[in-house]
């Protein structure tokens, strides 16, 4: 079945540091890939997406590139802020049918001033 | 506009009792999902409704779990004879037919004592 593996947290960074959260996937066919973010006390929000190989999703300074050859979708940000502290989930939807999301376990990011 | 709403936000119950969790999707969204977020299992798909089609129940963990969606809008997730392992945050999401993006509600935190 489909699965998503992302780096274990928690991750603690100083403000303005570079962020990478690794994500790899296993899926049938050609999945669409997503990063969701959950800020403290809030619901899950879509951060960015990519629907085909070599697509780059970007939002709020975050980027991730769909790499079919390495089945990866790593999340990056050049300079994190305290307000980026949250839990980040990598996810995929594969094929047709219910279009349900398959999530990774989540990575908690804490950014300190 | 209004987002996905869920009620109650918190529910504490005793082992063996039945509980009902409610989800109000975004108006006009024909697809509705239930997920469960727990410490041990991460985010798991439970059930999917699309219009008048038969629901996809493939993620329900046992026959103690059931869900219905009345009039193509509000959905209720029912857990019978609750067990301590049912303690989790139950998330509802909805989407339109035209795109994959799922919009999540704030969740219901269920605690089974």
Q: What is the pLDDT of residue B101?
A: 85
- The pLDDT of residue A95 is 67
Chain A positions touching B105 (Cβ under 8 A) are 43
pLDDT of residue B46: 96
Closest-CA residue to B24 (of B46, B44, B7): B7
- How many angstroms away from the CA of B23 is the closest CA of chain A? 14
Would you place residue A9 in the very low, low, confident or very high pLDDT band (cuts 50, 70, 90)?
confident
Would you write out chain B's pLDDT as a tens digit for each of its 113 residues?
A: 589 999 999 999 999 999 999 999 999 898 999 999 998 778 999 999 998 888 999 999 999 999 999 887 999 999 999 999 999 999 999 998 777 789 999 999 999 99
Answer yes or no: do A101 and B43 touch at CB < 8 A. Answer: yes
Q: How far apart are CA B24 and CA B77, in angstroms?
A: 12
**% residues pLDDT > 90 (chain A):** 82
What per-residue confidence (pLDDT) applies to B59?
93
Among the partner-chain residues A43, A97, A105, the one whose CB lies closest to the CB of B42 is: A105
Q: What is the pLDDT of residues A39-79, one digit of tens each?
A: 988 889 999 999 999 999 999 999 999 999 999 999 999 99
* pLDDT of B1: 56
Q: Which residue of B has its CA nearest to A47?
A: B101
User: Which residues, at least 6 apart from A64, have a Cβ–Cβ distance to it below 8 Å?
Assistant: A23, A33, A35, A48, A50, A56, A57, A58, A73, A74, A75, A76
Question: How many alpha carbons fall within 13 Å on the CB side of residue B45?
Answer: 24
B95 touches chain A (CB under 8 A): yes
Q: What pLDDT score was predicted for residue A69?
A: 94
Rounded distance between C-alpha atoms, residue A27 and residue B80, angstroms: 33
pLDDT of residue B51: 85
Minimum Cα–Cα distance from B46: chain A residue: A100
Q: Is A17 exposed, middle or buried (0-12, 13-18, 19+ CB in 10 A)?
A: middle
Q: Using CA atoms, how far apart are residues A102 and B11, in angstroms rounded to an integer?
A: 26
Q: How far is A51 from chain B (nearest CA, A)?
A: 10
pLDDT for residue B93: 96
What per-residue confidence (pLDDT) applies to B36?
96
Residue B96 sits at the chain A interface (C-beta within 8 Å): no
* CB-CB under 8 Å, B45 with A101: yes
């Amino acid at each position: 079945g489909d699965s998503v593996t992302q780096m274990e947290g928690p991750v603690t960074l100083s403000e303005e540091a570079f962020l990478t959260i690794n994500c790899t996937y296993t899926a049938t066919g050609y999945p669409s890939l997503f990063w969701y973010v959950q800020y403290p006390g809030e619901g899950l929000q879509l951060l960015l997406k990519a629907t085909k190989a070599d697509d780059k999703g970007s939002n709020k300074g975050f980027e991730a590139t769909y790499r079919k050859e390495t089945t990866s979708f790593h999340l990056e940000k050049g300079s994190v802020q305290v307000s980026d502290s949250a839990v980040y989930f990598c996810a995929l939807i594969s094929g047709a049918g219910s279009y349900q999301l398959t999530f990774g376990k989540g990575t908690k990011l804490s950014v300190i001033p | 506009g209004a987002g996905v709403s869920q009620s109650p936000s918190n529910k504490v119950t005793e082992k063996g009792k039945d509980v009902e969790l409610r989800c109000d999707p975004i108006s006009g969204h024909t697809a509705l999902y239930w997920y469960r977020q727990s410490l041990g299992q991460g985010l798991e798909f439970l059930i999917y409704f699309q219009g008048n089609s038969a629901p996809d129940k493939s993620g329900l963990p046992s026959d103690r779990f059931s869900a219905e969606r009345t009039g193509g809008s509000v959905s209720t997730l029912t857990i019978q004879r609750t067990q301590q392992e049912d303690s989790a945050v139950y998330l509802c999401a909805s989407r339109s037919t035209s795109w994959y993006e799922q919009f999540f509600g704030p969740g219901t935190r269920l605690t089974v004592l």
